[in-house]
Structure 1
């Protein structure tokens, strides 16, 4: 483990500058810079001060060995079928509901539709990979075809339907997560 790189990642994750972390830790900005570049190693007491400034501790810092996963394979996906409505939801980023946005792949059978979602904080984005869908937002209906995308604030009831004769595939990203 490169301690300096991990400290830098935590500092950036906490939206802190080197100077702000230095102030919180009662150290100098130059020292924080050297630690982050692995040019110097802090003593245990100094590392504890830095970690306090980052809102963590030694145990959590060293137990968190697994780095954040960046690339996901099809084996990572989780699929949920709804035969009553005629759609499959595939969570293509596992546990994305803990993140700020939640991407899913929706496969809508011919004449299928998703459940209606109530108004909520956040925004919705979709891209039609294949087929054609109707996007229902409040009382409005928008036709979205293969290669087209949509983006809207989720301040009205909304859902999508497939009036076509083939399966429609859509990448849908919701923020905050709502699926």
Structure 2
């Protein structure tokens, strides 16, 4: 384990989560000074400390200590992309396209928009969202306006305004969705 790399990864996650050294120190019962030493490679975190930090940032502890075999790249082949979230209350099914959401502020997935989900309430979230219709056709209800998007069409919008996808096709529609965190 290279303590400089571990410290750099901790700092990366702390900054990504808009957290100060003092905030992190308070959550894991350390001093700000000790967090600074860890981030600068002047102190090695204990496994207990590393475990707490991993839990706070919702990443596997191994991410801090194991060299990524892809050197900063996440490749997910179609045959390995079987971690599909079950259909949710909106009538959507999500297929995660990257298994390293802790590496970046974007989260790509393929959303399958099922038939019969026309009377659902729009929702909001804190992220910007980019969508690209892979197949089929959807109506994007956004801020009480309706937009028809066909295969090949795309949209970029703030998730802070109410929105929902409604399928316009006889078959299920597929939409590439990328959430962009601030």
- Regarding TM over 0.5, the answer is yes
TM-score, normalising length: structure 1: 0.59
Unaligned runs of 5+ in 1: 15-50
Aligned to 1:45: none
Question: Within 1, Cα distance between the matches of 2:74 and 2:132?
Answer: 21
Matched position secondary structure for 1:68? coil
Task: Calculate the aligned-residue CA RMSD, in Å.
Answer: 3.6
Question: Within 2, Cα distance between the matches of 1:115 and 1:97?
Answer: 30
Q: Out of 50, 55, 58, which is 2:40 matched to?
A: 55
Matched position secondary structure for 1:173? strand
Task: State the 1:72 CA deviation.
Answer: 1.6
Aligned to 2:72: 68
Question: Within 2, Cα distance between the matches of 1:93 and 1:111?
Answer: 29
Aligned to 1:118: 124
> How many pairs were matched up?
134
Unaligned runs of 5+ in 2: 13-35, 46-63
Matched, 1:146 2:131: no
Larger Rg computed on CA atoms:
1
Aligned to 2:83: 78
TM-score, normalising length: structure 2: 0.58
Aligned to 1:36: none
Instruction: For residues 121-142 of structure 1, give each alpha carbon's deviation from its aligned partner in whole angstroms, at most 9, with x where no partner exists.
Output: x311000010000111121111
Task: State the 1:101 CA deviation.
Answer: 1.2
| Residues 96 and 108, structure 2, Cα contact 8 Å, conserved in 1 | yes
Residues 1:83 and 1:65: Cα distance change in structure 2 (over 3 Å):
closer
Residues 1:57 and 1:103: Cα distance change in structure 2 (over 3 Å):
farther
Q: How does 1:147-166 map to 2 (within 5 A)?
A: 147-166=152-171
